[in-house]
Amino acid sequence: MTTVKTSPLYSEVLKELNYSWGCFYFFDGFVVSEINEGVNFSWEFAKHVILEVNEFYKSNSSDLVYISNRINGYNVKPVDWFKFTACAFKLKGYGIVVDSHIKSRNAKFESLFVPMKIKVFNDLLDCIQWAAHLNEKTRQLTD
């Protein structure tokens, strides 16, 4: 699978956050996460990123797309999505990039707990094009 650092888009990263449990790449209109192998990704981790996102983009992030680039095997606590929505953090879109049927099935299960539609991709660049398209549609509506 393609990582952000090995993709041709790495030069467009506006900000990079590196934690012991994963990396987050801020672009114009979307954020890509790459969580480390074996991590139990929970609200305790997510809230740190949400604070950084809100500060960097100067918004409640309703105009952002979040991309989970699942290059590693890790666990997500699906019920923590309720905490995510309780803090009024909304997203324009949520894309998940996977490289196996099992990861795709896990993403579909996770979608039961997410208040927005999840779109699953097999390729990071395809997902980023989708995010750019969502952002372009929004810009056209507001112009």
Residue 4 maps to a domain: no
Q: What is the CATH number of the domain that holds 124?
A: 3.30.750.24
Residue 19 maps to a domain: yes
Residue 113 maps to a domain: yes
134-138 long-range contacts, Cβ below 8 Å, gap at least 24?
134/65, 134/92, 134/93, 135/28, 135/29, 135/30, 135/63, 135/65, 135/92, 138/63, 138/92
Q: What's residue 31's pLDDT?
A: 96
Whole domain around residue 129: which residue ranges?
10-142
Q: How many domains does the chain have?
A: 1
Mean pLDDT split into 10-residue runs, the chain, 143 residues: 94 97 96 96 88 86 87 83 64 91 85 79 96 78 56
Q: What's residue 114's pLDDT?
A: 73
For residue 59, give the amino acid letter: S
Residue 51 maps to a domain: yes
Q: What's residue 79's pLDDT?
A: 73
pTM of the model: 0.89
Residue 108 maps to a domain: yes
For the chain, state the CA radius of gyration. Answer: 14
Residue 2 maps to a domain: no
